[in-house]
Structure 1
Amino acid sequence: MAAHAMEHLGAGMSPQLVVALDFPQAKPAMAVAQQLVGVTSWVKVGLELYLAAGARIVADLKGLGFRVFVDLKFLDIPNTVAGAVRQVCGSGADMLTVHALGGKAMVQAALAARDAAGTKTSVVAVTLLTHLTSEDLPWAAASLPELAGDLACRAHAWGADGVVCSGQEAGIIRAATSPDFLLVTPGLRRPEDHVGDQARICTPLAAARAGSNFLVMGRPITGATDPAAAARQILASVLIPGGTS
Protein backbone atom coordinates (compact mmCIF):
# COMPACT_ATOMS: atom_id res chain seq x y z
CA MET A 1 0.00 0.00 0.00
CA ALA A 2 1.14 3.54 -0.68
CA ALA A 3 2.62 5.40 2.27
CA HIS A 4 0.01 8.18 2.06
CA ALA A 5 -2.77 5.73 2.91
CA MET A 6 -0.86 4.34 5.87
CA GLU A 7 -0.52 7.87 7.28
CA HIS A 8 -4.29 8.04 7.72
CA LEU A 9 -4.53 5.01 10.00
CA GLY A 10 -1.68 3.23 11.75
CA ALA A 11 -1.62 -0.39 12.82
CA GLY A 12 -3.40 -1.06 16.08
CA MET A 13 -5.51 2.08 15.95
CA SER A 14 -9.22 2.09 16.59
CA PRO A 15 -11.34 2.71 13.50
CA GLN A 16 -12.03 6.24 12.40
CA LEU A 17 -15.60 7.54 12.35
CA VAL A 18 -16.49 9.32 9.10
CA VAL A 19 -19.65 11.41 9.32
CA ALA A 20 -21.51 11.54 6.00
CA LEU A 21 -22.76 15.08 5.41
CA ASP A 22 -25.60 14.09 3.10
CA PHE A 23 -27.29 17.45 2.71
CA PRO A 24 -28.69 19.25 -0.35
CA GLN A 25 -26.92 22.51 0.48
CA ALA A 26 -23.68 23.69 2.01
CA LYS A 27 -25.23 25.70 4.86
CA PRO A 28 -26.81 22.80 6.84
CA ALA A 29 -23.77 20.62 6.11
CA MET A 30 -21.41 23.20 7.55
CA ALA A 31 -23.71 23.77 10.54
CA VAL A 32 -23.51 20.08 11.49
CA ALA A 33 -19.79 19.95 10.74
CA GLN A 34 -19.16 22.82 13.14
CA GLN A 35 -20.85 20.81 15.90
CA LEU A 36 -18.51 17.89 15.19
CA VAL A 37 -15.23 19.81 15.43
CA GLY A 38 -13.05 18.05 17.99
CA VAL A 39 -15.32 15.00 18.07
CA THR A 40 -14.30 13.20 14.88
CA SER A 41 -11.52 13.85 12.38
CA TRP A 42 -13.33 12.82 9.19
CA VAL A 43 -16.38 13.92 7.23
CA LYS A 44 -17.74 12.67 3.92
CA VAL A 45 -18.97 14.72 0.98
CA GLY A 46 -21.21 12.72 -1.33
CA LEU A 47 -22.66 13.35 -4.75
CA GLU A 48 -25.61 15.57 -3.74
CA LEU A 49 -23.61 17.96 -1.58
CA TYR A 50 -20.70 18.12 -4.04
CA LEU A 51 -23.04 19.00 -6.89
CA ALA A 52 -24.78 21.64 -4.78
CA ALA A 53 -21.70 23.26 -3.29
CA GLY A 54 -18.85 22.35 -5.63
CA ALA A 55 -15.23 21.77 -4.72
CA ARG A 56 -15.37 24.79 -2.39
CA ILE A 57 -17.08 22.65 0.25
CA VAL A 58 -13.92 20.55 0.58
CA ALA A 59 -11.81 23.61 1.33
CA ASP A 60 -14.40 24.92 3.78
CA LEU A 61 -14.48 21.63 5.70
CA LYS A 62 -10.71 21.39 5.75
CA GLY A 63 -10.69 24.91 7.11
CA LEU A 64 -12.52 23.52 10.15
CA GLY A 65 -9.74 20.95 10.59
CA PHE A 66 -11.41 17.89 9.05
CA ARG A 67 -10.02 15.30 6.72
CA VAL A 68 -12.47 15.02 3.84
CA PHE A 69 -13.63 11.88 2.07
CA VAL A 70 -15.05 12.83 -1.34
CA ASP A 71 -17.32 9.95 -2.31
CA LEU A 72 -18.30 10.40 -5.98
CA LYS A 73 -17.77 6.75 -7.06
CA PHE A 74 -16.15 7.30 -10.45
CA LEU A 75 -16.97 4.72 -13.13
CA ASP A 76 -16.00 5.62 -16.70
CA ILE A 77 -13.26 5.07 -19.24
CA PRO A 78 -9.73 5.41 -17.79
CA ASN A 79 -8.98 8.80 -19.35
CA THR A 80 -12.20 10.35 -18.02
CA VAL A 81 -11.69 8.94 -14.54
CA ALA A 82 -8.07 10.15 -14.49
CA GLY A 83 -9.25 13.67 -15.24
CA ALA A 84 -11.91 13.53 -12.55
CA VAL A 85 -9.41 12.24 -10.00
CA ARG A 86 -7.04 15.11 -10.80
CA GLN A 87 -9.84 17.56 -10.09
CA VAL A 88 -10.78 15.97 -6.77
CA CYS A 89 -7.16 15.72 -5.66
CA GLY A 90 -6.75 19.39 -6.51
CA SER A 91 -9.66 20.25 -4.22
CA GLY A 92 -7.72 18.93 -1.23
CA ALA A 93 -9.64 15.67 -0.70
CA ASP A 94 -7.96 13.18 1.62
CA MET A 95 -9.77 10.14 0.19
CA LEU A 96 -11.87 9.46 -2.92
CA THR A 97 -13.78 6.59 -4.49
CA VAL A 98 -13.78 4.79 -7.82
CA HIS A 99 -15.75 1.67 -8.74
CA ALA A 100 -13.79 -1.59 -8.75
CA LEU A 101 -16.13 -2.70 -11.56
CA GLY A 102 -14.31 -0.18 -13.76
CA GLY A 103 -11.50 -2.69 -14.06
CA LYS A 104 -7.73 -2.69 -13.80
CA ALA A 105 -6.97 -0.01 -16.38
CA MET A 106 -9.46 2.42 -14.87
CA VAL A 107 -8.35 1.91 -11.27
CA GLN A 108 -4.70 2.23 -12.20
CA ALA A 109 -5.41 5.36 -14.25
CA ALA A 110 -6.97 6.84 -11.11
CA LEU A 111 -3.90 5.96 -9.06
CA ALA A 112 -1.57 7.40 -11.68
CA ALA A 113 -3.58 10.63 -11.78
CA ARG A 114 -3.38 10.89 -7.99
CA ASP A 115 0.37 10.36 -8.10
CA ALA A 116 0.79 12.93 -10.87
CA ALA A 117 -1.20 15.42 -8.80
CA GLY A 118 1.37 15.02 -6.04
CA THR A 119 -1.21 14.61 -3.28
CA LYS A 120 -1.60 12.04 -0.53
CA THR A 121 -5.22 11.31 -1.42
CA SER A 122 -6.19 7.70 -0.73
CA VAL A 123 -7.96 6.00 -3.64
CA VAL A 124 -10.43 3.34 -2.51
CA ALA A 125 -12.49 1.13 -4.80
CA VAL A 126 -16.19 0.47 -4.23
CA THR A 127 -17.03 -3.24 -4.28
CA LEU A 128 -20.83 -3.65 -4.08
CA LEU A 129 -23.13 -0.90 -2.82
CA THR A 130 -24.66 -1.69 0.55
CA HIS A 131 -28.28 -1.32 -0.64
CA LEU A 132 -27.86 -4.26 -3.04
CA THR A 133 -29.16 -7.77 -2.41
CA SER A 134 -28.71 -10.96 -4.42
CA GLU A 135 -31.96 -10.20 -6.25
CA ASP A 136 -30.49 -7.00 -7.70
CA LEU A 137 -27.53 -8.56 -9.48
CA PRO A 138 -27.32 -10.55 -12.73
CA TRP A 139 -24.54 -12.84 -11.48
CA ALA A 140 -26.66 -15.60 -10.00
CA ALA A 141 -23.78 -18.07 -9.87
CA ALA A 142 -21.91 -16.22 -7.11
CA SER A 143 -22.94 -14.97 -3.69
CA LEU A 144 -22.62 -11.32 -2.72
CA PRO A 145 -19.74 -12.01 -0.30
CA GLU A 146 -17.90 -13.90 -3.06
CA LEU A 147 -18.41 -11.09 -5.55
CA ALA A 148 -17.38 -8.39 -3.09
CA GLY A 149 -14.37 -10.41 -2.01
CA ASP A 150 -13.27 -11.01 -5.59
CA LEU A 151 -13.56 -7.32 -6.47
CA ALA A 152 -11.62 -6.38 -3.32
CA CYS A 153 -8.81 -8.82 -4.09
CA ARG A 154 -8.57 -7.47 -7.61
CA ALA A 155 -8.45 -3.88 -6.35
CA HIS A 156 -5.73 -4.89 -3.88
CA ALA A 157 -3.69 -6.49 -6.67
CA TRP A 158 -4.15 -3.42 -8.86
CA GLY A 159 -2.63 -1.18 -6.18
CA ALA A 160 -5.69 0.56 -4.74
CA ASP A 161 -5.26 1.85 -1.21
CA GLY A 162 -8.40 0.08 -0.05
CA VAL A 163 -12.02 -0.68 -0.78
CA VAL A 164 -15.48 0.34 0.27
CA CYS A 165 -17.32 -2.73 1.51
CA SER A 166 -20.22 -3.85 3.66
CA GLY A 167 -19.40 -4.81 7.21
CA GLN A 168 -20.80 -8.23 6.36
CA GLU A 169 -17.90 -8.77 3.95
CA ALA A 170 -15.17 -6.90 5.84
CA GLY A 171 -13.83 -9.96 7.65
CA ILE A 172 -13.55 -11.98 4.45
CA ILE A 173 -11.81 -9.13 2.65
CA ARG A 174 -9.45 -8.41 5.53
CA ALA A 175 -8.36 -12.05 5.63
CA ALA A 176 -7.87 -12.18 1.85
CA THR A 177 -5.87 -8.96 1.45
CA SER A 178 -3.38 -7.41 3.89
CA PRO A 179 -3.37 -5.67 7.27
CA ASP A 180 -2.61 -2.26 5.73
CA PHE A 181 -5.34 -2.41 3.07
CA LEU A 182 -7.97 0.17 4.01
CA LEU A 183 -11.54 -1.04 4.54
CA VAL A 184 -14.16 1.71 4.42
CA THR A 185 -17.56 0.56 5.63
CA PRO A 186 -20.88 2.37 5.12
CA GLY A 187 -24.36 0.95 5.77
CA LEU A 188 -23.84 0.92 9.53
CA ARG A 189 -26.74 0.96 11.94
CA ARG A 190 -27.15 0.44 15.67
CA PRO A 191 -30.10 -1.73 16.78
CA GLU A 192 -32.15 1.38 17.55
CA ASP A 193 -31.46 3.08 14.21
CA HIS A 194 -33.82 3.24 11.25
CA VAL A 195 -32.48 1.02 8.43
CA GLY A 196 -33.64 3.33 5.63
CA ASP A 197 -32.54 2.31 2.14
CA GLN A 198 -29.71 0.06 3.31
CA ALA A 199 -29.84 -3.73 2.99
CA ARG A 200 -26.51 -5.33 3.94
CA ILE A 201 -26.11 -3.58 7.27
CA CYS A 202 -24.19 -4.33 10.45
CA THR A 203 -23.41 -2.48 13.66
CA PRO A 204 -20.38 -0.21 13.99
CA LEU A 205 -18.89 -2.58 16.57
CA ALA A 206 -19.30 -5.62 14.31
CA ALA A 207 -17.60 -3.76 11.45
CA ALA A 208 -14.75 -2.70 13.71
CA ARG A 209 -14.25 -6.25 14.94
CA ALA A 210 -14.24 -7.48 11.34
CA GLY A 211 -11.34 -5.18 10.53
CA SER A 212 -12.91 -2.04 9.07
CA ASN A 213 -10.69 1.03 9.32
CA PHE A 214 -13.26 3.71 8.51
CA LEU A 215 -16.85 3.59 9.74
CA VAL A 216 -19.11 5.78 7.62
CA MET A 217 -22.35 6.92 9.25
CA GLY A 218 -24.71 9.68 8.23
CA ARG A 219 -28.33 9.85 9.30
CA PRO A 220 -27.92 8.25 12.77
CA ILE A 221 -25.59 11.17 13.57
CA THR A 222 -26.68 14.08 11.38
CA GLY A 223 -30.34 13.44 12.13
CA ALA A 224 -29.81 13.32 15.89
CA THR A 225 -30.89 16.14 18.18
CA ASP A 226 -27.25 16.38 19.30
CA PRO A 227 -24.96 15.14 16.49
CA ALA A 228 -21.83 15.54 18.61
CA ALA A 229 -23.26 13.38 21.41
CA ALA A 230 -24.37 10.73 18.90
CA ALA A 231 -20.90 10.66 17.34
CA ARG A 232 -19.22 10.37 20.74
CA GLN A 233 -21.48 7.47 21.69
CA ILE A 234 -20.61 5.60 18.50
CA LEU A 235 -16.89 6.25 18.94
CA ALA A 236 -17.00 4.98 22.51
CA SER A 237 -18.72 1.79 21.38
CA VAL A 238 -15.93 0.81 18.95
CA LEU A 239 -12.79 1.66 20.90
CA ILE A 240 -10.18 -1.05 20.54
CA PRO A 241 -8.37 -1.70 23.84
CA GLY A 242 -4.87 -0.30 23.60
CA GLY A 243 -5.68 1.65 20.45
CA THR A 244 -6.52 5.27 19.79
CA SER A 245 -9.33 6.83 17.82
Structure 2
Amino acid sequence: MNARDRLIVGLDIPTMTEAEKMVATLGDTVSFYKIGYQLAFAGGLEFARELVRDGKQVFLDMKLLDIDNTVAKGVENIVKMGVTMLTLHAYPKAMRAAVEAAKGSGLCLLAVTVLTSMDETDLINAGYEYDPHTLVLRRVEQALSAGMGGIVCSAEESSAVRKIVGPDMAVVTPGIRPAGSDAGDQKRVMTPADALSAGSSHLVVARPIVRAPDPKAAAQAILAEMRTVL
Protein backbone atom coordinates (compact mmCIF):
# COMPACT_ATOMS: atom_id res chain seq x y z
CA MET A 1 0.00 0.00 0.00
CA ASN A 2 1.08 3.56 -0.62
CA ALA A 3 0.65 6.48 1.79
CA ARG A 4 -2.72 7.44 0.30
CA ASP A 5 -4.13 3.98 1.07
CA ARG A 6 -2.86 4.20 4.65
CA LEU A 7 -4.21 7.63 5.60
CA ILE A 8 -7.78 7.53 6.93
CA VAL A 9 -9.36 10.94 7.41
CA GLY A 10 -11.86 11.00 10.24
CA LEU A 11 -15.02 12.82 9.22
CA ASP A 12 -15.70 13.91 12.79
CA ILE A 13 -18.02 16.60 11.50
CA PRO A 14 -21.53 17.45 12.75
CA THR A 15 -23.49 17.78 9.51
CA MET A 16 -23.75 16.13 6.12
CA THR A 17 -23.34 19.48 4.40
CA GLU A 18 -19.97 20.00 6.07
CA ALA A 19 -18.91 16.39 5.41
CA GLU A 20 -19.75 16.61 1.72
CA LYS A 21 -17.86 19.91 1.48
CA MET A 22 -14.82 18.39 3.22
CA VAL A 23 -14.70 15.41 0.86
CA ALA A 24 -15.00 17.76 -2.12
CA THR A 25 -12.24 19.96 -0.72
CA LEU A 26 -9.87 17.03 -0.21
CA GLY A 27 -10.66 15.63 -3.66
CA ASP A 28 -8.26 12.99 -4.94
CA THR A 29 -5.75 13.75 -2.18
CA VAL A 30 -7.65 11.40 0.15
CA SER A 31 -9.16 8.02 -0.72
CA PHE A 32 -10.09 6.64 2.72
CA TYR A 33 -12.56 8.09 5.24
CA LYS A 34 -13.72 7.19 8.74
CA ILE A 35 -17.34 7.68 9.72
CA GLY A 36 -18.11 7.49 13.43
CA TYR A 37 -21.05 8.17 15.70
CA GLN A 38 -21.30 11.91 15.15
CA LEU A 39 -21.78 11.76 11.40
CA ALA A 40 -23.48 8.35 11.36
CA PHE A 41 -26.43 9.76 13.25
CA ALA A 42 -26.67 12.75 10.90
CA GLY A 43 -27.04 10.75 7.69
CA GLY A 44 -23.53 9.35 7.58
CA LEU A 45 -24.51 5.74 6.94
CA GLU A 46 -26.07 6.58 3.60
CA PHE A 47 -23.10 8.86 2.93
CA ALA A 48 -20.84 5.85 3.51
CA ARG A 49 -22.67 4.05 0.72
CA GLU A 50 -22.22 7.08 -1.54
CA LEU A 51 -18.50 7.21 -0.84
CA VAL A 52 -18.18 3.52 -1.69
CA ARG A 53 -20.04 4.10 -4.96
CA ASP A 54 -17.60 6.93 -5.71
CA GLY A 55 -14.65 4.58 -5.32
CA LYS A 56 -13.58 5.67 -1.83
CA GLN A 57 -12.77 3.31 1.02
CA VAL A 58 -14.77 3.68 4.24
CA PHE A 59 -13.85 2.80 7.81
CA LEU A 60 -17.13 2.51 9.73
CA ASP A 61 -16.24 3.20 13.34
CA MET A 62 -19.25 1.80 15.18
CA LYS A 63 -17.42 -0.06 17.98
CA LEU A 64 -20.09 -2.76 18.07
CA LEU A 65 -20.74 -4.68 21.28
CA ASP A 66 -23.89 -6.66 22.04
CA ILE A 67 -25.12 -10.22 22.37
CA ASP A 68 -23.74 -12.56 19.71
CA ASN A 69 -26.84 -12.70 17.53
CA THR A 70 -27.26 -8.93 17.45
CA VAL A 71 -23.61 -8.39 16.52
CA ALA A 72 -23.81 -11.03 13.79
CA LYS A 73 -26.97 -9.61 12.23
CA GLY A 74 -25.52 -6.13 12.29
CA VAL A 75 -22.32 -7.27 10.61
CA GLU A 76 -24.28 -9.13 7.92
CA ASN A 77 -25.96 -5.88 6.90
CA ILE A 78 -22.76 -3.85 7.13
CA VAL A 79 -21.09 -6.31 4.74
CA LYS A 80 -23.77 -5.38 2.17
CA MET A 81 -22.76 -1.70 2.43
CA GLY A 82 -19.40 -2.42 0.84
CA VAL A 83 -17.31 -0.62 3.45
CA THR A 84 -13.69 -1.62 3.96
CA MET A 85 -13.32 -1.63 7.76
CA LEU A 86 -15.59 -1.97 10.80
CA THR A 87 -14.73 -1.68 14.48
CA LEU A 88 -15.91 -3.83 17.38
CA HIS A 89 -14.94 -3.68 21.02
CA ALA A 90 -12.48 -6.52 21.60
CA TYR A 91 -14.69 -8.84 23.62
CA PRO A 92 -14.04 -12.47 22.61
CA LYS A 93 -17.64 -13.61 22.06
CA ALA A 94 -18.58 -10.54 20.06
CA MET A 95 -15.48 -10.88 17.90
CA ARG A 96 -16.13 -14.54 17.14
CA ALA A 97 -19.74 -13.79 16.18
CA ALA A 98 -18.64 -10.95 13.89
CA VAL A 99 -15.93 -13.03 12.21
CA GLU A 100 -18.43 -15.79 11.43
CA ALA A 101 -20.95 -13.27 10.04
CA ALA A 102 -18.34 -11.59 7.80
CA LYS A 103 -16.83 -14.84 6.51
CA GLY A 104 -16.22 -14.79 2.77
CA SER A 105 -16.58 -11.00 2.47
CA GLY A 106 -13.92 -8.35 2.01
CA LEU A 107 -14.80 -6.60 5.27
CA CYS A 108 -11.83 -6.09 7.60
CA LEU A 109 -13.00 -6.40 11.21
CA LEU A 110 -10.99 -4.30 13.64
CA ALA A 111 -10.75 -4.97 17.36
CA VAL A 112 -10.78 -1.84 19.51
CA THR A 113 -8.43 -2.51 22.41
CA VAL A 114 -8.20 0.55 24.69
CA LEU A 115 -9.42 3.97 23.56
CA THR A 116 -6.59 6.45 23.00
CA SER A 117 -8.40 8.95 25.25
CA MET A 118 -7.91 6.61 28.24
CA ASP A 119 -4.93 6.26 30.54
CA GLU A 120 -4.28 4.02 33.55
CA THR A 121 -6.38 6.15 35.90
CA ASP A 122 -9.32 5.98 33.51
CA LEU A 123 -9.08 2.18 33.36
CA ILE A 124 -8.95 1.90 37.15
CA ASN A 125 -12.03 4.10 37.42
CA ALA A 126 -13.78 1.84 34.89
CA GLY A 127 -13.05 -1.22 37.01
CA TYR A 128 -10.20 -2.79 35.03
CA GLU A 129 -7.28 -4.39 36.84
CA TYR A 130 -4.84 -3.88 33.96
CA ASP A 131 -2.81 -0.89 32.85
CA PRO A 132 -3.45 0.21 29.23
CA HIS A 133 -0.44 -1.58 27.74
CA THR A 134 -1.24 -4.90 29.43
CA LEU A 135 -4.93 -4.74 28.53
CA VAL A 136 -4.12 -3.89 24.91
CA LEU A 137 -1.84 -6.91 24.53
CA ARG A 138 -4.37 -9.23 26.18
CA ARG A 139 -7.08 -8.09 23.80
CA VAL A 140 -4.76 -8.33 20.81
CA GLU A 141 -4.10 -12.00 21.56
CA GLN A 142 -7.86 -12.61 21.86
CA ALA A 143 -8.52 -10.80 18.56
CA LEU A 144 -5.87 -12.85 16.80
CA SER A 145 -7.40 -16.04 18.18
CA ALA A 146 -10.88 -14.96 17.05
CA GLY A 147 -9.71 -14.40 13.47
CA MET A 148 -10.13 -10.62 13.35
CA GLY A 149 -8.62 -8.67 10.46
CA GLY A 150 -6.90 -6.00 12.48
CA ILE A 151 -6.39 -4.06 15.67
CA VAL A 152 -7.15 -0.50 16.73
CA CYS A 153 -4.70 0.76 19.31
CA SER A 154 -2.56 3.72 20.24
CA ALA A 155 0.59 4.13 18.17
CA GLU A 156 2.45 3.78 21.46
CA GLU A 157 1.43 0.11 21.45
CA SER A 158 1.93 -0.50 17.71
CA SER A 159 5.37 -2.07 18.03
CA ALA A 160 4.29 -4.53 20.72
CA VAL A 161 1.07 -5.32 18.85
CA ARG A 162 2.92 -5.93 15.59
CA LYS A 163 5.17 -8.48 17.30
CA ILE A 164 2.07 -10.45 18.33
CA VAL A 165 0.01 -10.27 15.12
CA GLY A 166 2.81 -10.54 12.56
CA PRO A 167 3.15 -8.61 9.30
CA ASP A 168 -0.26 -9.18 7.71
CA MET A 169 -2.91 -7.90 10.14
CA ALA A 170 -3.94 -4.26 9.99
CA VAL A 171 -2.80 -2.11 12.91
CA VAL A 172 -4.91 1.04 12.81
CA THR A 173 -3.93 3.92 15.05
CA PRO A 174 -5.98 7.00 15.91
CA GLY A 175 -4.55 9.77 18.05
CA ILE A 176 -2.14 10.80 15.30
CA ARG A 177 -0.86 14.34 15.68
CA PRO A 178 1.70 16.04 13.45
CA ALA A 179 4.59 17.61 15.39
CA GLY A 180 3.49 20.82 17.10
CA SER A 181 -0.25 20.20 16.86
CA ASP A 182 -2.65 20.18 19.81
CA ALA A 183 -3.31 16.74 21.34
CA GLY A 184 -6.85 17.76 22.27
CA ASP A 185 -8.57 15.09 24.38
CA GLN A 186 -6.16 12.36 23.26
CA LYS A 187 -3.72 11.12 25.90
CA ARG A 188 -1.61 8.63 23.91
CA VAL A 189 -0.52 10.30 20.68
CA MET A 190 2.28 10.01 18.10
CA THR A 191 3.41 11.72 14.89
CA PRO A 192 2.59 10.07 11.53
CA ALA A 193 6.19 9.07 10.76
CA ASP A 194 6.79 7.67 14.23
CA ALA A 195 3.53 5.69 14.12
CA LEU A 196 4.42 4.02 10.82
CA SER A 197 7.93 3.28 12.07
CA ALA A 198 6.43 1.68 15.17
CA GLY A 199 4.35 -0.78 13.14
CA SER A 200 1.07 0.97 12.33
CA SER A 201 -0.39 0.09 8.93
CA HIS A 202 -3.10 2.78 8.83
CA LEU A 203 -3.28 6.20 10.48
CA VAL A 204 -6.56 7.86 11.46
CA VAL A 205 -6.32 11.65 11.39
CA ALA A 206 -9.33 13.86 12.03
CA ARG A 207 -8.95 17.26 13.68
CA PRO A 208 -5.46 18.09 12.31
CA ILE A 209 -7.02 17.87 8.83
CA VAL A 210 -10.73 18.66 9.07
CA ARG A 211 -10.20 21.65 11.38
CA ALA A 212 -7.15 22.98 9.57
CA PRO A 213 -7.40 26.36 7.77
CA ASP A 214 -6.45 24.49 4.57
CA PRO A 215 -7.51 20.83 4.98
CA LYS A 216 -6.07 19.73 1.64
CA ALA A 217 -2.66 21.21 2.42
CA ALA A 218 -2.75 19.61 5.87
CA ALA A 219 -3.51 16.20 4.34
CA GLN A 220 -0.77 16.63 1.76
CA ALA A 221 1.74 17.50 4.47
CA ILE A 222 0.85 14.39 6.46
CA LEU A 223 1.10 12.22 3.36
CA ALA A 224 4.51 13.72 2.60
CA GLU A 225 5.69 12.88 6.12
CA MET A 226 4.34 9.33 5.77
CA ARG A 227 6.24 8.87 2.50
CA THR A 228 9.54 9.62 4.23
CA VAL A 229 9.06 6.38 6.16
CA LEU A 230 7.38 4.25 3.50
Does the alignment pair 1:112 with 2:75? no
Which of 35, 43, 46 pairs up with 1:56?
Answer: 46
Which of 212, 221, 224 pairs up with 1:233?
Answer: 221
Identity of matched residues, %: 37
Which of 74, 82, 92 pairs up with 1:84?
Answer: 74
- Asked if structure 1 preserves the Cα contact closer than 8 Å seen for 2:16 and 2:44, the reply is no
Equivalent runs, 1:1-245 vs 2, <5 Å = 9=1, 14=3, 16-100=6-90, 102-103=91-92, 105-115=93-103, 119-138=105-124, 141-239=129-227, 243=230
Question: For 1:195, what is the secondary structure of its paired residue?
Answer: coil
Deviation of 1:142 after TM superposition, in Å, equals 3.2
Question: For 1:22, what is the secondary structure of its paired residue?
Answer: coil
Deviation of 1:18 after TM superposition, in Å, equals 0.2
Alignment length (residue pairs): 227
Deviation of 1:141 after TM superposition, in Å, equals 4.9
Runs of 4+ in 1 over 4 A off after TM superposition: none
- Structure 1 distance, partners of 2:211, 2:82, is 27
- What is the identity, as a one-letter code, of the residue corresponding to 1:33? V
Structure 1, gaps ≥5 residues long:
1-8
Question: For 1:239, what is the secondary structure of its paired residue?
Answer: helix
- Structure 2 distance, partners of 1:53, 1:197, is 25
- What is the identity, as a one-letter code, of the residue corresponding to 2:158? A
Give the TM-score normalised by the residue count of structure 1: 0.87
Deviates further, 177-186 or 79-88: 79-88
- Structure 2 distance, partners of 1:184, 1:140, is 23
Higher helix proportion (structure 1 or 2):
2
Structure 2, gaps ≥5 residues long:
none
- Structure 2 distance, partners of 1:82, 1:219, is 32
CA RMSD of aligned residues (A): 1.7
Deviation of 1:140 after TM superposition, in Å, equals 6.5
Tell which has more relative contact order, 1 or 2 (C-alpha 8 A, sep 6+). Answer: 1
- Structure 1 distance, partners of 2:71, 2:57, is 22
- Asked if structure 1 preserves the Cα contact closer than 8 Å seen for 2:196 and 2:226, the reply is yes
Deviation of 1:145 after TM superposition, in Å, equals 1.1
- Structure 2 distance, partners of 1:122, 1:30, is 25
